[in-house]
Chains A and B, each alone.
Chain A
Amino acid sequence: MKNLVLGNEALAQGAIDAGISGIYAYPGTPSTEITEYVQNSKMAKELEIHCSWSVNEKTAMEAALGMSYCGKRSLTAMKHVGLNVASDVFMNMAVSGINGGLVVVVADDPSMHSSQNEQDSRFYGKFAKVPILEPSNQQEAYNMMHYAFDLSEEMQLPVLMRLVTRLSHSRSAVTFKERRAQNGIQLPVNTDRFALIPSHAKVQYEKLVNKRQLLLEASEKCHFNKLKLCEDKSLGIIACGIGYNYVMENIDEDLDFYSILKINQYPVPKSKIKALYKHCDKVLVVEEGYPMLEEILTDYLDDDGQTIGKLTGALPMTGELNPELVGDALGLYRDIKPEISNVVVGRPPQLCEGCGHNDLFEVIQTLIPEIGEKKVFGDIGCYALGALSPLHTINTLIDMGASITMAKGAADAGVENAIAIIGDSTFTHSGMTGLLEAVIENSPITVIISDNSTIAMTGTQDSLAVGRLKDICLGIGVAPEHLKIMVPLKKNSKGNQDLLRKELEYKGLSVIISQRPCVRLSRDKKEAIKEKTAALN
């Protein structure tokens, strides 16, 4: 029986069937559906697999490590920039090693469909010296979970599994295997390796470095890494992860005389690469993301022109790959395609009709002539669309939580009337620590928490901030007389302007919680949020 699933869903079912006891994650495109699949899975519920959302990627990965410490298998999933947030625990758990199998799934977003950058997570795997897996298709995403957990437990290391948008968000029919049992609790034989004081850490780091040969051998014998040598010697192709699909799409049956090395596990299988280089005059490297492998190969062999790829201009350095680009790199003829008519204009994403963020932006806009331009520091979420016209209200968007701390830095620099806008969930993800700094120095900034009571951009997942924002702010030390609530509705516009103006005039820290539920929330969800808020207050 085949199951029609997204790459993300195939992976999630694979993890359930590989015997995980918990998944820990914070939503982020293109990774969100991995956790949602487990949350909606009847099987996962029966098996009591932990699957509620974490407050951010760092807490998620730490909880996954805690579960692994107890001997159980755990999965943590995030988008590429989420790994930046979790990088502290990621780097260090490579040193401590794991106990129960632990897999870190990271979904990269080349072409930045829904992200601020297109960083390539394979570098993190290399940086931490852990095995990296990169499936080419949905069935492999499923199959690789069993393999990844085995590899993790065998090597006693976390395994990084890298997805990309086009695999995460593409459906195909996948065959599921039998499920295996979860591990029982088994605390580590020796806990010293998890207590990374320098004397222990030195021992552990040495062990990690010495695993290099083992990891290489694992890649060499990995059945996903396949070398096919053909008679033609003019060109060999190294195809990594999803790059393999674009190569095969072009090669089809007509051009199957090219030698191909398919790579799905790193560190790169050296002997297979050497064999391909020995066999072929030129080697084209097709990899999604940065030219990581190409750089290694070019440096390693010190070749002059034998390797072609992104560094030589055969493929572009930015954006995602596609069948046409790979076809071009293979030197295939492309028909002249019809151009897009000039009748067609751009249709950028925009805030929904009836969205409360809109009314909040209008309130801020009316005050800009008074306070001056370029002083509104934004954050990650739907309200980031306030950077586009016609709203054109927010001036910055860098990373989760940066609105508050950047506004504080601006105030430190002597700029008056700096405003920070941050969503409820982004605030609990990474805004609270920055707010404490602003409290301690009583920084003259106005922080607006645009509270729609959900993680809206990724599809209305539960916000852990629901019902807690006021208490959190007071607990951090915001002065009660400068903690205000507003409801961003047209009819309140004048009152809201006055409220904001008054707090901007105050030369110290103010927090305004702008409360209006997301229009995308179902009636049931809105009710649940109301009940939760009432119960907490």
Chain B
Amino acid sequence: MKSNIILSGVGGQGILTIAAVIDIAALSQNLFIKQSEVHGMSQRGGAVQSHVRLSDKEIYSDLIPEGKANLILSVEPMELLRYIPYLKKNGWIITDSSTFQNIVNYPCKYDLFKKIKSFNNHIIINAKNSAKDLGNSKVANMILLGAASSLIPISEESFLHAINYYFKDKSEKIKAMNINAFKTGQEMAKDFTEFVY
């Protein structure tokens, strides 16, 4: 069993929280893990990505080879498309539909979503809006993780345990909100049929 996941977004959007929760959950299932991340200059509002690799055997490369990612999970739609060369044939792409426009030449959204929808296995959800409904836009990343969870070889129980562990120093309210966000994401993925822009 091998699972390669690319997480993508913009520096400061919190993709490392998603990575950390996957890592903790995978460790509790005794899987081998490698997870590379971006530190330094790109964290200042630039494109960032994290390669997460899980396996029941030893993993060598810290980077996912091109064409070997089972899943690209993105907190920003254009950033998703940046890593398409890594996607396996028939791999899954999941993204938040909320754009992060800190550049002047951000592409036309219609073209952007048209391109994303050209991939068969896609899920596009407005995680940011749903997060606001839950009380804090920051939990959007747990909604996205919930939406992707059925495609990651980790049990729901391990995920929930990992979320509680990751937020162990936070209040019960924050823990509950993140758990709730994860579950909301699971439902949103199940209910997803078509994204219309």
* A residues lining the B interface (CB < 8 Å): 2, 4, 6, 29-30, 32-33, 113-114, 166-167, 169-173, 242, 244-246, 248-249, 322-324, 327, 334-335, 337-341, 343-352, 382, 385, 390, 457-459
Interface size class of B (residues with CB under 8 A): 35 or more
CA gap between A170 and B35 in the complex, in Å: 5
B61 proximity list for chain A (CB < 8 A): 245-246, 248-249, 322-323
Q: Mark B100-137, 1 if CB is under 8 A from A, else 0.
A: 00111111100110010000000000000000000000
CA distance A30 to B64 in the complex (A): 20
Residue of B nearest to A326 (CB): B61
Asked whether A245 lies within 8 Å of B62 as measured between CB atoms, the reply is yes
Instruction: Given A343-B81, A344-B82, A350-B46, check contact A32 B39 (CB 8 Å).
Output: yes
A-B pairs with lowest CB-CB distance, top 7: A114-B40, A29-B40, A349-B46, A249-B61, A170-B62, A323-B65, A170-B36
Partner of B67 from A29, A337, A352 at Cβ < 8 Å: A337
List 18 other contacts, CB 8 Å, given A166-B36, A322-B63, A458-B40.
A29-B41, A169-B38, A170-B37, A171-B23, A171-B36, A172-B62, A244-B60, A245-B60, A245-B61, A249-B65, A337-B66, A337-B67, A338-B87, A341-B81, A346-B47, A349-B44, A382-B44, A385-B44
Q: Select A171's contact among B37, B42, B78, B106, beta carbons within 8 Å.
A: B37
Distance, CA A172 to CA B34, complexed state (A): 5
Question: Which B-chain residue is minimally distant from A456 (CB atoms)?
Answer: B44
Partner of A113, one of B34, B35, B41: B41
CA distance A344 to B33 in the complex (A): 30
At the interface, yes or no: B153 with Cβ under 8 Å from chain A?
A: no
The answer to whether B37 and A169 touch across the interface, beta carbons within 8 angstroms, is: yes
Q: How far apart are the CA atoms of A352 and B106 in the complex, in Å?
A: 18
Known: A343-B112, A347-B79. A327 touches B84 (CB 8 A): no
Pairs A–B under 8 Å by Cβ, sample size 22: A29-B39, A113-B40, A113-B42, A114-B41, A169-B38, A169-B39, A170-B62, A173-B27, A249-B61, A322-B63, A322-B65, A323-B64, A323-B66, A334-B66, A335-B89, A337-B67, A338-B87, A339-B85, A340-B85, A345-B105, A347-B10, A349-B45
- Measured between alpha carbons, how far is A459 from B47 in the docked complex, in Å? 17
How far does the alpha carbon of A382 sit from the alpha carbon of B59 in the complex, in Å?
35
B150 at the A/B interface (Cβ < 8 Å)? Answer: no
**Cβ contacts under 8 Å, B105 to chain A:** 345
B24 at the interface (CB under 8 A from A): yes
Which of A6, A167, A346, A349 is B41 in contact with, Cβ under 8 Å? A349
